[in-house]
Amino acid sequence: MSNSIYNQLINKEAKLAVIGLGYVGLPIALEFARKISVVGFDINQERVDMMKNNIDPSNELESSDFDNTEIVFTANQEDLADVNFYVVAVPTPIDDANLPNLRPLLGASATVGKVLKKGDYVVFESTVYPGCTEEDCIPVLETESGLKYKEDFMVGYSPERINPGDKVHTLQNVVKVVSGSDDHSLEEIAKTYELVVEAGVHRAPTIKVAEAAKIIENTQRDVNIALINELSIIFDKLKINTYDVLEAAGTKWNFLNFSPGLVGGHCIGVDPYYLTHKAKQAGYHTKIINSGRYVNDSMGFYIGKQTVKKILARGKHIQDAKVLVLGATFKEDVTDIRNSKVIDIISELKSFQVHVDLADPHASSKEMENEYGVGLIPEPTNDYDAVIVAVNHKEYKDLTETDLRAMMKDDLGVLVDVKGMYKGKIKNLEYWSL
Ligand SMILES: NC(=O)c1ccc[n+]([C@@H]2O[C@H](COP(=O)([O-])OP(=O)(O)OC[C@H]3O[C@@H](n4cnc5c(N)ncnc54)[C@H](O)[C@@H]3O)[C@@H](O)[C@H]2O)c1
C-alpha cells in the first residue's frame, strides 16, 4: 500500500466513514459514495433504517440522491473496523446556560478512537471553537486508541457551509476550507475533498485557523442581523419602514445586505456562544458578540409585545383576543424546528392570556408538541384578531390581502408581517412589520 490515503481511497483499497448522518453528514457521505467506498455510521438506529431505504430523515435529499452510491449505513461500531478515513459530523449544541455541549463530539471521538489504526485520518466537520479539535477531541482519540497523534494517525478539520433549504449553494459548488496536522496530511485531506467539492478547497494553514474561520462566518452574520434588528426597533419608534430604509441604503456599493428577523436554528444562534466561551477562557469578555446575541434572542418577545399593542390599539380586550401564527420552523421552506424563535412570540402572547393558534405546512405537529408543548392546528379558522406571518415560507408569499382578511374576525384585524413580505400590498388591514 502507498502512504497516500487519497490513493488508497480512490483505488478502493481503503474506506471512508462519515460519523453522524444529519444535515451535514448525509450529503457528504453520499457525495463521497459516488467516488469511493463509504460507511455511513449513526448512533440512531431509526435514522439508519430510513437511510437504508433511501430516505433522508432530515427531509433535505430526494431518494434519487442515494442512486449510484457505494455506501453501507450502520449503527454498528464493528462496521468501522476496516475504515481508514473518518469524517465526524455530529451536532455541537449548547446547554441551557448557552455553554458548548461537547458530549456528541467527544462521544463520536471515542467511537473513532476505539477503531483507530496506524496511518488513519480523522477529519472533524462539526462547528467548534478554535482549539477544540486539538485540545478536546485528539486526547480522546489518543486515549481510546493508545496511538499517538501525528506519529500514528493524522487529523484535520474541514467546516461545513451547507445551508438547509438552499438549492443554490450546495456542497459541490461552494469552496470548502480544509486543514491538516502537517503539510502532507493537509494535501491528502485537500485532495480527498476535491473529489466531491467541484468548486475546490481552500487550504488553511492550521486546524485552529479553519475552526476560527467557520465560527466567525456565523458570528459575523449574527452580529450584522442584530444591528438591523436594533435599527428596526429604532425605526419603529420613528415611524419609518425599515425595509424602505434598507432598500434606499442598499443602493450604495458597500452597504451590506441584511434584513431584520428571528435568528433561530442550530447554527447562527448557537455558534457565537462557542466563540464567547473560548474567549472567556482566554481572559477576554466579549461585548459586541454578546450584545448581538441579546438583541437577536429578544426579537420574538418584541414581536409578541408589538402585536399585543396593535390589538389593544384597535380597542379590543387582550384576554379575549385570538391570534394566528403562520410558520413554526426556524427558517423558510425547511422542516427543522430546532431552536425556533417563533415559540418566543407565542410565549409572549400567552403571557397576556391571548389564545394562539399555530400553523405550518412544513413542520411536524408531533415534533412541535414534544419540543415546545405547542401543536399545530390543521386549518386556520376565520375569527382571528391578528395574524402573524412569522416565517416566509413559499406557501405564504402569494397570500393576498383578501386571503389574510378572510382569516380575521372583523375589519379591525392586525397583520404582523415579520419578514416584510407584504410590504406595499396591504391597504385596509392594520399592518406592522419589523
Ligand atoms: N445543519 C447545518 O446547516 C450546518 C451547516 C454547517 C455546519 N453545521 C454543523 O455541523 C454539525 C452537524 O450538524 P447537523 O445539522 O448535521 O446535525 P444533525 O442533528 O442534523 O445530525 C447529527 C447526526 O449525528 C448523529 N449523532 C449524534 N451523536 C452521535 C455520535 N456520538 N456518533 C454518531 N452519530 C451521532 C445524530 O443521530 C444525527 O443523525 C454541527 O456541528 C453543526 O453546527 C451544520
137 is catalytic: no
Superfamily of domain 5-205: NAD(P)-binding Rossmann-like Domain (3.40.50.720)
Q: Which three cell numbers stand for residue 106?
A: 467527544
What is the crossing angle of helices 138-145 and 103-115, to 10°? Answer: 40
CA of 26 to the centre of ligand 1 (A): 9
Q: Which residues contact 296 (CB under 8 A, 6 or more apart)?
A: 222, 225, 226, 229, 262, 263, 269
Region for residue 20 given its phi and psi (left: phi exceeds 0; alpha: psi -120 to 50; beta: otherwise): left
List the alpha helices (DSSP H) in 171-241. Answer: 183-194, 207-238
Atom 35 of ligand 1: nearest residue by CA position: 20
Atom 25 of ligand 1: nearest residue by CA position: 20
Are the C-beta atoms of residues 314 and 430 closer than 8 Å to each other?
A: yes
Encode pLDDT of 328-349 as tens digits: 999 999 999 999 999 999 999 9
Q: 165 exposed, middle or buried (CB, 10 Å; 0-12, 13-18, 19+)?
A: middle
Atom 31 of ligand 1: nearest residue by CA position: 108
Are the C-beta atoms of residues 185 and 154 closer than 8 Å to each other?
A: yes
Residue ranges of the chain assigned to CATH 3.40.50.720:
5-205, 229-433
Encode pLDDT of 277-309 as tens digits: 999 999 999 999 999 999 999 999 999 999 999
CA of 288 to the centre of ligand 1 (A): 28
CA of 23 to the centre of ligand 1 (A): 6
CA of 6 to the centre of ligand 1 (A): 25
What is the share, in percent, of the chain residues with pLDDT greater than 90? 96
Q: Which of 266, 347, 258, 332 is nearest to 300 (CA)?
A: 347
Question: 42, 92, 273: which to mutate for ligand 1, most atoms within 8 A of CB?
Answer: 42
CA of 92 to the centre of ligand 1 (A): 7
Atom 22 of ligand 1: nearest residue by CA position: 22
Q: Cα–Cα distance between 399 and 23 in angstroms, integer?
A: 30
Q: Which of 257, 17, 20 is nearest to 127 (CA)?
A: 20
Mean pLDDT of the chain: 96
Atom 10 of ligand 1: nearest residue by CA position: 126
CA of 268 to the centre of ligand 1 (A): 14
Question: 79, 126, 266: which to mutate for ligand 1, most atoms within 8 A of CB?
Answer: 266
Amino acid found at 372: Y
CA of 297 to the centre of ligand 1 (A): 23
Q: Which atom of ligand 1 is nearest to the CA of 47?
A: 39
Atom 38 of ligand 1: nearest residue by CA position: 22
pLDDT exceeds cutoff 70 at 237: yes
Q: What is the pTM of this model?
A: 0.94
Atom 28 of ligand 1: nearest residue by CA position: 104
Question: 23, 80, 163: which to mutate for ligand 1, most atoms within 8 A of CB?
Answer: 23
Average pLDDT of span 353-381: 97
Q: Cα–Cα distance between 163 and 397 in angstroms, integer?
A: 21
Atom 37 of ligand 1: nearest residue by CA position: 44
User: Within 6 Å (CB) of ligand 1, which residues are found?
Assistant: 19-25, 41-44, 47, 58, 89-92, 104, 107-108, 111, 125-127, 160, 162-164, 266-267
Q: Which of 134, 132, 92, 20 is nearest to 271 (CA)?
A: 92
Q: Which atom of ligand 1 is nearest to the CA of 26?
A: 16
* Catalytic residue (choose from 83, 115, 267, 388): 267
pLDDT exceeds cutoff 80 at 1: no
Q: Which atom of ligand 1 is nearest to the CA of 105?
A: 31
Q: Cα–Cα distance between 106 and 129 in angstroms, integer?
A: 14
- CA angle, residues 138, 143, 146, in degrees to nearest 5: 110
pLDDT exceeds cutoff 90 at 163: no
pLDDT exceeds cutoff 70 at 425: yes
The CATH classification of domain 229-433, taken from the options 3.40.50.720, 3.40.50.1100, 3.30.360.10, 1.20.1250.20: 3.40.50.720
φ, ψ (nearest 5 deg) of residue 207: -65, -40
Q: 268 exposed, middle or buried (CB, 10 Å; 0-12, 13-18, 19+)?
A: buried
Q: Cα–Cα distance between 203 and 195 in angstroms, integer?
A: 15
Q: Which residues contact 429 (CB under 8 A, 6 or more apart)?
A: 401, 404, 405, 408, 413, 414, 415
Q: Cα–Cα distance between 77 and 74 in angstroms, integer?
A: 8
Encode pLDDT of 116-146 as tens digits: 999 999 999 999 999 999 999 999 999 999 9
pLDDT at position 2: 59
Q: Which residues contact 67 (CB under 8 A, 6 or more apart)?
A: none
Q: Which three cell numbers stand for residue 185?
A: 496530511
Give how far the C-alpha of residue 69 lies from the chain's centroid of Cα atoms, to the nearest Å: 26
Q: Cα–Cα distance between 290 and 297 in angstroms, integer?
A: 10
Give how far the C-alpha of residue 145 lies from the chain's centroid of Cα atoms, to the nearest Å: 32
CA of 315 to the centre of ligand 1 (A): 48
Q: Which atom of ligand 1 is nearest to the CA of 24?
A: 16
pLDDT at position 32: 98
Q: Which atom of ligand 1 is nearest to the CA of 110?
A: 31
Average pLDDT of span 259-263: 97
Beta bridge partners of 203: 178
Q: Cα–Cα distance between 419 and 332 in angstroms, integer?
A: 10
pLDDT at position 167: 84
Are the C-beta atoms of residues 421 and 387 closer than 8 Å to each other?
A: no
pLDDT at position 165: 80
